[in-house]
Amino acid sequence: MLSLYAENSHFCRLNQSKVRQIGEVQDMQLSLSIIDNNRICHGSITLMNNFDRDLDKATQELNRLKSEVKQLPEDPYLVMPSTSDSIVNINPGQLLNPKDVVGSITPVISNVDLSGIWASGNIYKGCSNSLGLFHWFETDTFSLDFSLITKSERMVKGTFAGNKWNQRDYESYMSKSIEKLKLLKKDSINIDPGNYRTYIAPAGVSDILDMFSWNCIGEASIRQGQSALIKLRDNNKLSDCFSLEEDFSSGFVPRFNSMGEIAPEVLNIIDNGILRNTLISSRTAKEYALNSNFASDGEYLRSPKMNSGDLNE
């Protein structure tokens, strides 16, 4: 089995709203897995975009795996590769020309202190195996991950990202972020311990959703007692306001995992606070006699979508 992950990106690092570093990144990682008599061995190499040299490196790595796999114990939960209809998914975007990046993103931030990094370009992933499976995915994306900083070193965190650049949308987003700095310039208020209604900004919500991939909604982590959401299996629930899906319809990430298995386009995980489904890899499905929904080996979220509420910001 072969799995390729690569990017061809332009980046720009900013500090105090000034460009400190700018350049391009080409990175290609090839992962190889070999199965022999219920034994499996994994390896990976970095490609150099030179076919002859890359083929030589890959052949050496494959020979190493062939030698090493015979020394490993059998894997009782080994999932054999399979074949299916191959999919090719290409999502072209409308990105800024690298020569226009600085002139497009810096004028609106000229009077504030911003630190962050801009990244824009093509990301692609491929997967194949010796049975003839071949999947290919590529997409164009951009993102500006930044913090706006006050003189007292309080910060407004934000991310402007997508695959179709719109200068007006960017300037509007950044202007709203700059407006939030005025709130941080107010004096802090000490409050007593208790229950309070609290607003969590989008960047904070994103960090919370990331934690759902930390041994949380994976079936294996629940079965093995590692999940913080075990009680949701006992008819406990979260707030009715909270719903979470795995949704690949945006086209930003591929539906296939490193085994080449294709996940459902949409998987309802938490519905109005109730746990409906967990992420189940084929390995976990084999271990616990379940049906797989073709999650990744680590059973982490790849394309989370949280339903929005109805409060005005």
Q: In this structure, what token pair is assigned to residue 171?
A: 């300037």
Each residue of 22-34: pLDDT tens digit?
Answer: 999 999 999 999 9
Each residue of 197-222: pLDDT tens digit?
Answer: 988 888 889 899 999 999 899 999 99
At 83 the pLDDT is 81
Number of neighbours of residue 29 by Cβ within 10 angstroms: 14
Neighbouring-strand partners of residue 11: 23, 119
Three-state DSSP class for residue 86: coil
Q: Say if residue 313's pLDDT is above 80.
A: no
Are 26 and 50 within 8 A, CB to CB? no
Band (pLDDT 50/70/90 cuts) for residue 230 is very high
Rg (the chain; Cα; Å): 23
Q: What is the distance of C-alpha 75 from the center of its chain? A: 29
Q: What angle do CA 110, 104, 249 make, to 5 degrees?
A: 120
Number of H helices and number of E strands within the chain?
6, 11
Burial of 260 (0-12, 13-18, 19+ CB in 10 A): buried
Number of neighbours of residue 122 by Cβ within 10 angstroms: 17
Report helix, strand and coil shares of the chain as percent, to nearest 5: 25, 35, 40
> What average pLDDT does the segment 269-276 reach?
96
Band (pLDDT 50/70/90 cuts) for residue 310 is confident
Q: Say if residue 271's pLDDT is above 90.
A: yes
Distance (Å) of CA 12 to CA 109, 119, 121, 146: 15, 7, 12, 12
At 143 the pLDDT is 96
Q: Say if residue 94's pLDDT is above 80.
A: yes
From 26, 24, 162, select the one nearest 91 (Cα to Cα).
162
At 304 the pLDDT is 95
Each residue of 100-113: pLDDT tens digit?
Answer: 999 999 999 999 99
At 151 the pLDDT is 86
Each residue of 63-72: pLDDT tens digit?
Answer: 999 999 999 9
Q: Say if residue 152's pLDDT is above 90.
A: no
